[in-house]
Structures are given as structure tokens and as C-alpha cells.
Chains A and B, each alone.
Chain A
Amino acid sequence: MRLPSPLARVRAAGFPWTAAPTPRGVEPPPQVERLGDAYDTDWARRPVALWSRIAALESVGRVATRVTCRPTVHNLDRLGGNDGPLIFVANHHSHLDTALLLTTLPMPWRHELVVAAAADYFFDTAPKAALAAWAYGAVPMERRRASRRSADRAATLLEDGWSLLIFPEGGRSPDGWGQPHKGGAAYLGVRCGVPVVPVHLHGTGRVLPKGRTVPEPHAVQINVGAPLRPEPDEDARRFALRVEAGIARLADETSSDWWEARRRAAIGSTPSLKGPQQDTWRRDWHSPDRRPLDRRPRRWPS
């Protein structure tokens, strides 16, 4: 015999367990928008939520990312001399990217960081929104259209001294290659005069790529770039291109070295993060998220 579900029993019990229906001929009261872009995350930055988040990230989060990602962070010295808020901008290959950066970025930014998260994905239901806001300090960011509310909220947070982590590709990479950047981070950098720090993550897509639910441990490299500031006559669009080029250069630096990457940048031949344009097997073959072949010698000859 199958037991009735609790929700079905509540629905069956009717009012006052459920809302009373609006009488016919009466204009229904306006729906207050509480989810998506409108979700209020202020509570997640108050002391109780903030310190419980920090405790969880520094214990469970740190252990989990160390076990699954074995991260190596390069070039943190580039952040020296900055003590105000920063906008961290990274490529995005995995749900682990956020947790990894929240546990590896240096102090003081690590504990004063809010994460711009897709309003339509993380804030579409109340439990998901609460979990994202608490666990990651996430704030909703509209990614399908320009949203004044998202931008104003992020700007206010920056002015209040919070740093921001944005994945400008707007979502995880479906195939390991980069996607076109959206201009939100650069816009906020120009609007608020906050330096933008490009960050390149290499290897998280091998641990937990889009479409997988169980991580497979793999070493991850995190390369932190020098903070970029908009030039006096630079608009957000051009600044966004510079930020994108900064991440591409960090990727080149990770796969070669600083000097090679610098030389290629000087002559404009930094490899694109978007990979080969032709849609062939070679695009998948060279994908940064493709796990390398097992090079261990075979125990038995084949």
C-alpha cells in the first residue's frame, strides 16, 4: 500500500492549511516578487550567517576542496598593495570554482566576498536561494538581460567594502572551452572605480565538469593576475575586452611560463580561451577539461 504524500494531505486539508482562493470578481492582490533577481540576501551578510558560513567554509569547504582539487595558487603577490574591495573575475568550468576561490583567496578578501550567482538558476526557489546565499554569500545576478537592480545591488555592496566574485561567462563551460564574456564585471569596475582581478582556474573542469554530480579528484592550478584599473578614457566595453585578455594571458602563463605568455601578449598572439573555432573532433580532443591519458606503464604487456 502506498502512503499519501504529506503535501497531498496538506492540500487535501484545505484552508487554513492552504491559502484561501480569491473570490471571483475580486482583483487578486499583486504578487510580491521574492525570488530571482529580487531575492533579498541581506540576512546572509549579518553576523550569525556570515560567521557560520566562514566556519563552514574554513572547515568542511577547505577540506573538501583540498581533497578533490589539490589546489596550487600562483602569484598572490600581485594583490600586494591593495587593501580595498576588489572584483575577482574568473573563467568558469565547475560548481567547485566558487568553493575553491572562497577557500583559497587571501585575507581580507576571502571573508569579505560576495559571489554573483545566476538569478534564474540559484534563486529560482526559496530553499535553493537560501542555501546559495548562506553557503556562498551569493547575490542574484541577472544573466539573460541587463538588470538595473542587479547592477545597483552589486555597486552598493562594493561601496560598502565587500569584494565581488563574478564569472563573466555567465555559466559553466559546456565543453571546457571559454564562452563569450558578459560586461557586468567591467561595468562595475568602471562605475565604482574598483580594480578588477583576473583569475584563471585550470583543472576544475576535470574534477566536476558540467553534467557530472560526483567529483573525480584532480590537481587544480589557480593563477591570480595583477589588478586591472580602467584607463581614464576607457569605457566598460573596452575594459571588458582587456579583462578577458587578462584571463587568457593567465591561461597561457599556466600552460607555459610568465615570460612566454608576456612575449605572446606583446605581439597579440595569446591563445584564445575559446579554443579552435572549427567544430570538429579536434576541439574536444584539445579541450582543457579533457583528462590526460593515463601515462603509467602497463603492468602487463598488451
Chain B
Amino acid sequence: MLDVDRSTPPVLLHHGEQFRLERLPADRSRIVYPPEPLPGLDDPDAAIRRAIEEPIDSEPLRELLFPDMRLTIAFDDISLPLPKMRRPDIRQRVIEAVLDVAADVGVDDIHLIAALALHRRMTEAELRHSVGDRVYDAFAPRGQLYNHDAEDPDGMTVIGETRHGEEVQISTRAATSDLIVYVNLNLVSMDGGWKSTATGLSGYQGLRHHHNVATMRATRSFMDQDRSELHRSNWRQGAVLRDAGIKVFQIETTVNNDLFGDGPLAVLAKREWEWTPRDRATFMGVKAGLDRMTPGGRRRILHSWEAPYALTSVQAGEVEAVHRITTEHVYDQQLVAVEGQTDVVLYGLPYVGPYNVNSIMNPILVMCLGLGYFFNMYRGRPVVREGGVLIMTHPTTDEFHPVHHPSYIDFFEQVLAETTDPIEIERRYEVGYAEDEWYRHLYRTSYAYHGVHPFYMWYWGSHALEHLGGVVVVGGDPATVRRLGFRPASTLADALEIASDLVGPSPSITYVKNPPIGMADVT
């Protein structure tokens, strides 16, 4: 954390696929920098083998396998990690280790499922990147490696209901397996636990019970499982799965904060006073280059970046016991102590979020990243006080990926033109989009997010919408920003002027730099 004074140089803010250097007001601003990357494990493969041979509160994987069994290996989809990691992906390492044991035991009936819930299907290249060519070439041609299909009328099973009346629905293949091995990549503390199976392998019928406005508004925050209604609901659904006799062997992994390595983007992970002459030259060159490129060119360059993450922990065994340890590892890497709340919080939104990998960050995803993910990256209290202002920098154009986000286009044009109130949106429009046959068809056969997905993105920000007094987008397209219900500003100074109208003159300002990922522990 840095208190800004007159000597503080302009600071770096992400601005979608570009960057901004902004000077913050002295003596009332502070900067929360993300933590340094933790060292990775020396031998990740040995650590993975040890984890599955000596699991937590479970028999070793080898003893859970037998030759004539049905084994389903589910793994996290392309929304993790961000940006994608250099090969070999952690999922590949873990899946190969699991298959090594399965081969020794003699298991034949194995299916591998990309647990993507209502996200878009992964392409062959994306699956190959996640599981590796060896696994893909062995299983995909036999139809034993595929994307989860939550709208397959014959492929989904309702297991039961929780005591709160929440239906529990998962893939039939997983439900009828003797064992589900879930391979998890926990990038943030929201991921993992029962959310892996109860959400990743579920469909609309199961998800609607916790992907809704009431749950999100009762969640403080969804990055803090102890105060998250989202997680409580998933845990209840997990208990139903467990009580129904569905066995899950959970393998969770954590990675460090090394998003940019030593390459040309290394400067993005450094604090401004650490920039060497070479870093400054690199930054100016990169910025000038990106500023002169087309949006498509910028996207191609930035989305091709693969982060050199290192594995910091791997644990396997019983879902809840494993997840407790995993969460501690995530916190060890990401928590930053922040003293007191602020009047104005400032975020620079980067080019990628969980739902626009190899795609376009459309305005609804801008809202979700800023008010959903970034706002909720706290434990204790939000960084900004109730009634405060959130300022984010992003171009926010009304550009959509027509293949990946078809229902988002209609959501923007039809729903947001009427209202931005999450409750009204949920009441009037959700079911129509969720049950639309065309969106179902695109989700199942193309590479489209499910029809209901933009609603969930909007709900993700509903806690922030309720908490905040206003949202200002710096550098955003004014018409698009207004459609989202936010205020556009052309410069940061203008945005701070607008914020002053809402929170009073000379407000305290906190800039939370992200990425690399940090989570504010607010006291």
C-alpha cells in the first residue's frame, strides 16, 4: 500500500486492451498493490503424485479405483486461469497423473468432461491446451472427452432437493459414475469446493437457486466463503450429492501471482518506482504500439499471452477438507491488508475476464468484471464505503462477439434499454432467455454462452449496485456507459469531479491495482 504524495509519479491503470498513466490527488489517495508472487513448488509432478497417494480425509485414489468401474474426470473450463497458462497446463499434469493410476488399476470406462456449466463450449485448440495433446488424442476421438452439455435432455439428472428446496442437478454421466475426480484450478477464493461439482456439472435447473439477485445481495462477498450465500447454497447442494452416494475425489491446485514473468509485459507487475530505464522504454513502446493498432489486432496480441504461473499447492481428497486448505493457500498469495474504507475506489479494468477468453469484453462483461469481480475482491468490508463511488477505466464500446455472446446482444438492446434494476430484470426477462430454443441451440452446437448467462453477469454486480452511490467509467463510450446505468467521464479528473458531487468534496481515494490479482482484507 502506498500513500500518494506530491512526489508520486503517474500510476499505471489498465484500460481494456490499452493502458493509461494517471496522476492521483496527493495526500488523500492511496494505492493498493497486489502481492509479490510466491515461490512455486520445485517438482509439481511429484507434488501431484504425493497429493493423490496421500489424500486428505480419503483413501488414496488407487484404492478408490477398480477395473470395471465408471470413472468420470471433470475439469475446470477456459475461464480459469486468467490469462491462460503456459503449457503444460496444471490440468494436464493432474489428469495425466490420475490416468496413470487408472491405467495401473485397469480402468477402461473413463470419461473426461469440461465442467463448463452454462459457459460456452471449448474449442479443440482450447481443450488441447487444457488437457494436453496426449490426453486429447487418446480420448476425444473415442468420444470420451467432451464439453459438458447442460441442455442435453438425456444427459442431465436431478439428484434431489436441499432442505431449502434447491434442486440439485448434475450430468447423468457423472451421477452414474462410481467416482468423480474433479480437477480444479483455484485462481481466486471463489473457486472450488462443492461449487466445482454442484455448479460446473450442473444446468439451469440447479444453478438458478444460487445464481440470482437475492443470493448475491446476501453475499458479503462471494470471494469470502464464510460470508457467501452463494457458497452456502452450493455446499447444501453438495451435501445432497454426498448423501445420494455420489463419490467425489477433489483435486485442487493453486498458482502464484506470476502473470507476466520476465517477458515484455513484466513491467505490468512492477510498482512504478521499480521501473528501470528498460522497463520504461518497453512500456512506452508497448503502449504506443497498442494505441496504434486496431481493436482486433490488440486483442489478438494480448489474448495470445500465456502466463508462466507456478504451482504453489496441490491437495486432494474429501471436498470440504481439501477446500479449506486450498483457500488458505489462495489467501496466502492474494490477501493485502487495507485499513479502513474509502469514499472512492478506482479500478483499471484489463483486457480479459473469465468470460471473454479469446473473445471480446462487451459492456455487460465490463460491468461484471468491475462491479462483480473487482468490487467483491474483499474480505471483511468492501474497500469503498456504502454510498461511495466506484470509478473504473475501460473503453466500454458496444462491441460483442456474435458467436460467443449472442444473448448478450439482445440483453443489451432489449433488457438494458428498459431497466438496469437486477430484480426487475430477473422477474421480467430471465426465464424467457433461459428457455429460448435458439439460445439453447447455439449453446449446445455452437460456441455460445447460454441464453441466461448475461443475467448472471448482471446479478454478479447486484451487491455492488446496491452498495454504491454511483459508478463512473473513464474513457468509456458515453452512450454505452449510460445504457449500463453508469456515468461516463473522459478523464480521471472529470470522474473525480463527478464523484465529488456524490460523496462530497475532497473524497478519499483508493486505487486497487489488479492484475496481478490481489484481494483486500479490509479492517
Tell yes or no: B138 within 8 A of A by CB: yes
Tell yes or no: B135 within 8 A of A by CB: yes
Q: When the two chains form their complex, are residues B43 and A81 in contact, meaning their CB atoms are under 8 A apart?
A: yes
- Chain B residues positioned under 8 Å from A20 (CB to CB): none
A230 CB to closest chain B CB, in angstroms?
16
Q: Scan residues 45-103 of chain A and give those whose CB is less than 8 A from a CB of chain B.
A: 74-75, 77, 80-81
Q: When the two chains form their complex, are residues A259 and B45 in contact, meaning their CB atoms are under 8 A apart?
A: no
Complex CA gap A266/B101 in Å reads: 9
Q: When the two chains form their complex, are residues B103 and A74 in contact, meaning their CB atoms are under 8 A apart?
A: no
Tell yes or no: B88 within 8 A of A by CB: yes
Give per-residue flags for B144-156: 1 if the beta carbon is below 8 A from chain A beta carbons, else 0.
Answer: 0000000000000
Q: When the two chains form their complex, are residues A258 and B43 in contact, meaning their CB atoms are under 8 A apart?
A: no
Tell yes or no: B44 within 8 A of A by CB: yes
Residue of B nearest to A259 (CB): B138
User: Per a CB cutoff under 8 Å, which of B44, B87, B99, B141 touches A262?
Assistant: B99
Q: When the two chains form their complex, are residues A258 and B134 in contact, meaning their CB atoms are under 8 A apart?
A: yes
Q: When the two chains form their complex, are residues A81 and B45 in contact, meaning their CB atoms are under 8 A apart?
A: yes
- Chain A residues positioned under 8 Å from B466 (CB to CB): none
Count of chain B residues near A, Cβ 8 A: 21
Residue of B nearest to A226 (CB): B45
Given A80-B88, A81-B43, does the pair A258, B137 have CB atoms closer than 8 Å? yes
A193 CB to closest chain B CB, in angstroms?
15
Residue of B nearest to A80 (CB): B88
Tell yes or no: B133 within 8 A of A by CB: yes
Q: Scan residues 254-270 of chain A and give those whose CB is less than 8 A from a CB of chain B.
A: 257-260, 262-263, 265-267
Given A266-B106, A267-B106, does the pair A81, B44 have CB atoms closer than 8 Å? yes
A163 CB to closest chain B CB, in angstroms?
20
Residue of B nearest to A257 (CB): B138
Given A80-B88, A257-B138, A259-B139, does the pair A75, B106 have CB atoms closer than 8 Å? no
Given A75-B133, A81-B45, does the pair A259, B88 have CB atoms closer than 8 Å? no
Q: When the two chains form their complex, are residues A262 and B137 in contact, meaning their CB atoms are under 8 A apart?
A: no
Given A77-B87, A77-B132, A80-B88, does the pair A257, B137 have CB atoms closer than 8 Å? yes
Complex CA gap A258/B134 in Å reads: 6
Q: Scan residues 169-193 of chain A and give those whose CB is less than 8 A from a CB of chain B.
A: none
- Chain B residues positioned under 8 Å from A263 (CB to CB): 103, 106, 108
Of A80, A258, A263, the most chain B CB neighbours within 10 A belong to: A258
Give per-residue flags for A219-263: 1 if the beta carbon is below 8 A from chain B beta carbons, else 0.
Answer: 000000000000000000000000000000000010001111011
Tell yes or no: B100 within 8 A of A by CB: yes
Complex CA gap A257/B92 in Å reads: 16
- Chain A residues positioned under 8 Å from B134 (CB to CB): 75, 253, 257-259
User: Per a CB cutoff under 8 Å, which of A260, A265, A267 touches B138?
Assistant: A260
Of A81, A253, A260, the most chain B CB neighbours within 10 A belong to: A81
- Chain B residues positioned under 8 Å from A258 (CB to CB): 134-135, 137-138
Q: When the two chains form their complex, are residues A266 and B104 in contact, meaning their CB atoms are under 8 A apart?
A: yes
Q: Scan residues 25-83 of chain B and give those whose CB is less than 8 A from a CB of chain A.
A: 43-45
Complex CA gap A257/B103 in Å reads: 13
Give per-residue flags for A102-130: 1 if the beta carbon is below 8 A from chain B beta carbons, else 0.
Answer: 00000000000000000000000000000
Q: When the two chains form their complex, are residues B43 and A74 in contact, meaning their CB atoms are under 8 A apart?
A: no
- Chain B residues positioned under 8 Å from A77 (CB to CB): 87-88, 92, 132
B196 CB to closest chain A CB, in angstroms?
24
Complex CA gap A80/B43 in Å reads: 10
Number of A-B contacts (CB under 8 A): 40
Residue of A nearest to B100 (CB): A262
Complex CA gap A262/B103 in Å reads: 6
Residue of B nearest to A78 (CB): B88
B269 CB to closest chain A CB, in angstroms?
22
Of B43, B133, B138, B139, the most chain A CB neighbours within 10 A belong to: B138
Residue of B nearest to A258 (CB): B134
- Chain A residues positioned under 8 Å from B99 (CB to CB): 259, 262
A80 CB to closest chain B CB, in angstroms?
6
- Chain B residues positioned under 8 Å from A267 (CB to CB): 106
- Chain B residues positioned under 8 Å from A265 (CB to CB): 103
Of B45, B88, B134, the most chain A CB neighbours within 10 A belong to: B134
- Chain A residues positioned under 8 Å from B138 (CB to CB): 257-260
- Chain B residues positioned under 8 Å from A75 (CB to CB): 133-134
Complex CA gap A257/B137 in Å reads: 7
A199 CB to closest chain B CB, in angstroms?
16
Complex CA gap A101/B100 in Å reads: 28
B50 CB to closest chain A CB, in angstroms?
16
Complex CA gap A258/B137 in Å reads: 8
Complex CA gap A183/B132 in Å reads: 33
- Chain A residues positioned under 8 Å from B137 (CB to CB): 257-258
A14 CB to closest chain B CB, in angstroms?
67
A203 CB to closest chain B CB, in angstroms?
18
Complex CA gap A11/B100 in Å reads: 68
Give per-residue flags for B80-111: 1 if the beta carbon is below 8 A from chain A beta carbons, else 0.
Answer: 00000001100010000001100111101000
Complex CA gap A207/B108 in Å reads: 37
- Chain B residues positioned under 8 Å from A74 (CB to CB): 133
Residue of A nearest to B105 (CB): A266
- Chain B residues positioned under 8 Å from A81 (CB to CB): 43-45
Complex CA gap A258/B110 in Å reads: 14
Q: When the two chains form their complex, are residues B103 and A259 in contact, meaning their CB atoms are under 8 A apart?
A: yes
Complex CA gap A214/B106 in Å reads: 46
Q: Scan residues 265-290 of chain A and give those whose CB is less than 8 A from a CB of chain B.
A: 265-267
Residue of A nearest to B110 (CB): A259
Complex CA gap A77/B128 in Å reads: 13
Complex CA gap A260/B134 in Å reads: 11
Can you name 16 A-B residue pairings with CB atoms under 8 Å?
A74-B133, A75-B133, A75-B134, A77-B132, A80-B88, A81-B43, A81-B44, A253-B134, A258-B135, A258-B137, A258-B138, A259-B139, A262-B99, A262-B103, A266-B103, A266-B104
Supplied contacts A259-B134, A263-B103, 5 more A-B pairs, CB within 8 Å = A74-B133, A77-B88, A258-B135, A259-B103, A265-B103
4 A-B pairs with least C-beta separation: A259-B138, A258-B134, A257-B138, A262-B103
Give B contacts to A, CB under 8 Å: 43-45, 87-88, 92, 99-100, 103-106, 108, 132-135, 137-139, 141
